[in-house]
Amino acid sequence: MDEKVKRAIFAQVEQEPFARKFGLELLDLDAGYSKVAMTFTPDMANIFGMAHGGALFALIDEAFETASNSHGTMAVALNMSITYVAAPPPGARLIAEAREFSRTRKTANYDIKVHDDEGRLIASCTALVYRQGAPLPFLDDK
């Protein structure tokens, strides 16, 4: 992976208001791969006291976003299909890993898994991006 792209994406995630709001932390990034962490805090609970699906989606989407843009060109989501497998316990550290499994000039597909800090599968997702081909707009800033 291009080191300039890697540094730029790490810097963007650190500054991204949405990532800050959910405490999303980019841990690792490579071409077509990303690893993002989040801690399930009380303000992320749904009406049953379990992790809100939207909070889990935020974690999944951040891993998807960073993995799909890791090639240095803009990629935007077209479709995501999520299966929620288990509810994490309060306070759990959650890790999402996105892995590219196919890529063409215009699209790419990803498999994203979320595990808790005990290794239990929490959610699984398949996702599709449209690859715009334009360079990431923030590359010149870094």
Q: What pLDDT digit, counting tens, does each position of 16-49 carry? A: 999 999 999 999 999 999 999 999 999 999 999 9
Pick the CATH number of 3-135 from 3.40.190.290, 3.40.50.300, 3.10.129.10, 1.10.260.40: 3.10.129.10
pTM: 0.96
Domain ranges for the chain = 3-135
Q: What per-residue confidence (pLDDT) applies to 46?
A: 97
Q: Contacts from 134-138 at CB under 8 Å and sequence distance 24+?
A: 134/73, 134/74, 135/72, 135/73, 135/74, 136/5, 136/8, 136/9, 136/69, 136/72, 136/73, 136/74, 137/74, 138/8, 138/11, 138/12
Q: Is 79 exposed, middle or buried (0-12, 13-18, 19+ CB in 10 A)?
A: exposed
Nearest-angstrom CA–CA distance, 93 and 130: 30
The pLDDT, as a whole number, for residue 50 is: 96
Strand locations in the chain (E): 25-30, 33-39, 73-84, 93-103, 107-115, 121-135
> Does residue 94 contact residue 88 with C-beta atoms inside 8 Å?
yes
Apex 116 CA angle, 110 and 119, nearest 5: 90
Q: 3-state class of 90 per DSSP?
A: coil
pLDDT value at residue 140 = 80
What does the pLDDT profile of the chain (142 residues) look like in tens digits? Answer: 999 999 999 999 999 999 999 999 999 999 999 999 999 999 999 999 999 999 999 999 999 999 999 999 999 999 999 999 999 999 999 999 999 999 999 999 999 999 999 999 999 999 999 999 999 999 986 5
